[in-house]
Amino acid sequence: MRYSIKMDRLKASAIRAVQKKIVSKPGVISFAAGLPDPDLFPMDDLRNATLNVIDNKGKTAFQYGLTKGYAPLLEKLAERMNEKELVKCTKDNITITTGSQQGLSLAAMMFIDEGDIVLTESPSYLGGINACRPYGAAFMGVDTDDEGMVIADLEKKLKENDNVKIIYVIPNFQNPTGKAWSYNRRKEFMEVVNKYDVVVVEDNPYGEIRFKGEFIPSLKSLDTENKVMYLGSFSKILCPGLRVAYICADIEIANYAEKLKEGLDLQCNQFAQLQVYEYMTTCDIEKHIEKIQLLYKEKCDAMIEHIKNDFPKCIKYTDPEGGMFMWLELPEGMDANSLLDKSIERGVAFIPGAPFYANDGAKNTIRLNFTVPSVEEIHKGMKIFSDLLKEVCK
C-alpha cells in the first residue's frame, strides 16, 4: 500500500508497551497508568443528567449540531474561563474538541509545516509530541527547572531558530513531572514570547486539581497579544470517556479550528456535550472537584511519605501541589528501563521517564502515577519499590 509519508513518522507509545507488560502479570500494583480514579466519577449525577438530556432534549442531543460546539456549552465555558481562569473571552473564542488531544492535533495541523520546530519542556507530554509528529515537526527541548521553562534557554532557542512555530507547555502539574510554573516565570515567559511570531499551546488538563498551595493564573490570562491557544478538558475533573474538551483562543484560531473540524469530524459528540452541559447546570461541579482534590492529596501524601522515609537519599523527587503524577531522578548512570522488569516481577509497575523527552531523554528518570491505586495499594507498592531501590542504589 502506498501510505503517506506521515505514516512513517508515527511512533508507538512507550507507555502502551509498559501497559502490555503489566496486563500479562495480574496483581501488579500499577503506578504506570495515567488515568483518573474511576471511583470518583459522579455516577448518580451523570445518570440523572443523562436521563434529563434524553427525556427533555433528546431531539437536540441525537441530531447534528454546530461544528464549534453546542452553543449553551460554549457560553458556559466562556463564563467559566472568565470567572475561574481570569481569561477575558466570549463564546466566540471557544471551540469544543474531542479531548484536549484533538486540540493538540488541531494546533499541529494549523501551524506545522515540514521541518518547523516545536519547543517543549524537558520532559513533556508524549501525546503532545506525537500529535505533531505526522506533520514533520522537529522537536527541541527547552531546559526546564522547578519554576518552569528556563527563560535564557528559551530565548536562545527562539533567537537561533526562526522556524519555531509552536511552544508547547503544561504549566500546571505537568504530565509527567507534576511540576507547576511559578507566577514570575509565567510573566517572564510571556514577555519573551511576545517578541516572537510563535503560538503558545497551553495545555491545562490538571490546573483545577490543585490540592496544595495558591492558585497561579494561566498563561492565557497573561496573554496581551493573543498568542496563547489554551486547551481545557473535562477528562480529569469529570470523566475522560465523554471526550469533551475545549480550546480557548483568538477568533482567527477558532475559525481555523472550525474549518479543520468540518473535514475531520463535522463536530464533537453532540450527546456528550449535552451531558456535560446538563451536569454543569444541574450539579455542583466545583464541589465535585474539591472531592477529587481531597482524595488525590491523600494519595499523593501517602506516596511522598514513603519517598521521604524509605527511599535512598540519593533519589530526587518532585512534591506536586496537584495533578496526578510525580517524577523521580535516580543517580546518574542508572537506567530506569532495566529496573522495570525486576520491579514488575516483584509486583510494582512504573513508567521509565526517557520517552517523555522530545529528543534524547534522561534514562535515570521515572514517572509515578498516584491516582489509580488505592491508598492501601500505594503503601504496599511503595514498600516493595523502596526495598528494590535500596538494593540497586548502593
Interaction site with ligand PLP (CB under 6 A): 34, 99-101, 125, 127, 170, 175, 203, 205, 233, 235, 240, 245
Helix (H) or strand (E) holding 164: strand 164-169
Minimum distance, C-beta of residue 373 to ligand PLP, in the bound complex (Å): 17
Minimum distance, C-beta of residue 124 to ligand PLP, in the bound complex (Å): 8
Q: Please, which residue, 299 or 311, has the CB nearer to ligand PLP?
A: 299
Q: Please, which residue, 73 or 334, has the CB nearer to ligand PLP?
A: 73
Q: Please, which residue, 218 or 233, has the CB nearer to ligand PLP?
A: 233
Minimum distance, C-beta of residue 156 to ligand PLP, in the bound complex (Å): 25
Minimum distance, C-beta of residue 214 to ligand PLP, in the bound complex (Å): 21
Minimum distance, C-beta of residue 235 to ligand PLP, in the bound complex (Å): 3
C-alpha cell at 43: 455516577
DSSP states along 6-44: HHHT----HHHHHHHHHHTSTTPEES------GGGS-HH
The residues that bridge with 94 in the sheet, in sequence order, are 248
Minimum distance, C-beta of residue 110 to ligand PLP, in the bound complex (Å): 17
Residue 25: how many other CB atoms lie within 10 Å: 12
Closest Cα partner for 67 from 261, 247, 252?
A: 261
Spatial strand order in the sheet of 94-98: 94-98, 244-248, 228-233, 199-203, 164-169, 117-121, 138-142
Contact yes or no for 268/103 (Cβ under 8 A): no
Q: How many CA atoms lie within 13 A of 210 on its CB side?
A: 15
Position of minimal CB gap to ligand PLP: 99
Cα dist from 214 to 182, 211, 222, 318, whole Å: 10, 9, 17, 17
* Helix 14-23 vs helix 336-346: crossing angle, to nearest 10: 20
Q: Please, which residue, 169 or 382, has the CB nearer to ligand PLP?
A: 169
Q: Please, which residue, 135 or 325, has the CB nearer to ligand PLP?
A: 325
Q: Please, which residue, 244 or 389, has the CB nearer to ligand PLP?
A: 244
C-alpha cell at 46: 451523570
Q: Please, which residue, 70 or 173, has the CB nearer to ligand PLP?
A: 173
Q: Please, which residue, 42 or 99, has the CB nearer to ligand PLP?
A: 99
Q: Please, which residue, 201 or 340, has the CB nearer to ligand PLP?
A: 201
C-alpha cell at 88: 477575558
Minimum distance, C-beta of residue 48 to ligand PLP, in the bound complex (Å): 23
Minimum distance, C-beta of residue 309 to ligand PLP, in the bound complex (Å): 29
C-alpha cell at 245: 474538551
Q: Would residue 178 be called left, alpha or beta, if left means φ above 0 and alpha means ψ between -120 and 50 degrees? A: left
Alpha helices in the chain (DSSP H): 5-8, 14-23, 43-61, 71-84, 99-111, 126-132, 151-160, 183-193, 251-264, 270-282, 285-310, 336-346, 375-392
Minimum distance, C-beta of residue 206 to ligand PLP, in the bound complex (Å): 7
Distance of alpha carbon 117 from alpha carbon 202, whole angstroms: 16
